[in-house]
Amino acid sequence: MRIAKNKKGQFIIIAVMMIALMIISIGAIMYSAGTYYRYEQWEEYITLVEHVKLSTIRLIQISLANYTAPGNNSTLKANLDQWQNDLKKAYPGYGVILTYDLANGSYQAYNTKINYTLGLARRWNENASFSAANATFTLNIASIGLTGYKFTTAPFLNLTIINIDNAAKEITVTVKAEDGTPITNLKEDNFQVSNLTITGVTPRYDLKELFKYIIKCDGPIQAPVTVRAWDQRGIQVIAKKT
């Protein structure tokens, strides 16, 4: 009888332990599933935020390119107003609200005084010329409780005529982007010289300027000379040497 009771007790203990293990296993599976689900959700939200941010930055670059293109009258404000509506249509149910603040007035940036009007600015036909845009954004996404996410984008293109060598029929220029970073991937078809044909463009590293371009022309270079440049974003700028 005692042996039977002992066996029965052992069975109960084993059964309880198995049930406990099953509960722990089920709990672990449920936790993993919940954690995975939450992780996947946040991955989706992070992707959404990054997509809106990068697309908005690209829109500012395109708007600046349009602003600097000959004969184009599009405005940054009109483009952003349309973009706000497009975002609401693209993400229905998410509660995506993007607001913006365009720079107005004088700003000091890239060692240059920039006077913005509704987020756009340019100073051309000078020895050192530039094109610029500046806008600050606030992103809210109601479905995830995201409020007040701010970011600023300020694309910038500077073109400076460093030297004109009439004997060699060469013009030396520098082209810089945001933060004074030299642009190093321009080719012959990224430049245009007034009244002359470009026969070659040679990039060259320089201790003083860091990086410069030597523009070879097909004839004598007579002052005043105008050089137009545009980067891979399509942003244009015109510099002039008298």
Q: Give the span between the Cα atoms of 83 and 79, in whole angstroms.
A: 6
Burial class, 205, CB count within 10 angstroms (exposed 0-12 / middle 13-18 / buried 19+): exposed
Q: What average pLDDT score do residues 155-177 get?
A: 95
Question: In the prediction, which pLDDT does 149 show?
Answer: 93
18-27, 56-65, 66-75, 162-171: least confidently modelled range: 18-27
Q: Give the span between the Cα atoms of 55 and 240, in whole angstroms.
A: 34
Number of helices and strands (H, E) in the chain? 2, 14
Q: What average pLDDT score do residues 229-235 get?
A: 96
Q: Give the span between the Cα atoms of 36 and 40, in whole angstroms.
A: 6
Question: In the prediction, which pLDDT does 40 show?
Answer: 52
Q: Give the span between the Cα atoms of 8 and 78, in whole angstroms.
A: 82
Do 57 and 133 meet the contact criterion of CB atoms below 8 Å apart? no
pTM of the model: 0.79
Do 234 and 72 meet the contact criterion of CB atoms below 8 Å apart? no
Strand partners, 171: 164, 215
Q: Return all residues near 79 (Cβ < 8 A) that are at least 6 apart.
A: 59, 62, 63
Of 237, 157, 133, nearest to 191 (Cα)? 237
Q: Would the pLDDT of 38 be above 60?
A: no
Of 51, 57, 75, nearest to 153 (Cα)? 57
Q: Would the pLDDT of 21 be above 50?
A: no
| Fold assignment, 157-241 | Immunoglobulin-like (2.60.40)
Q: What average pLDDT score do residues 1-7 get?
A: 42
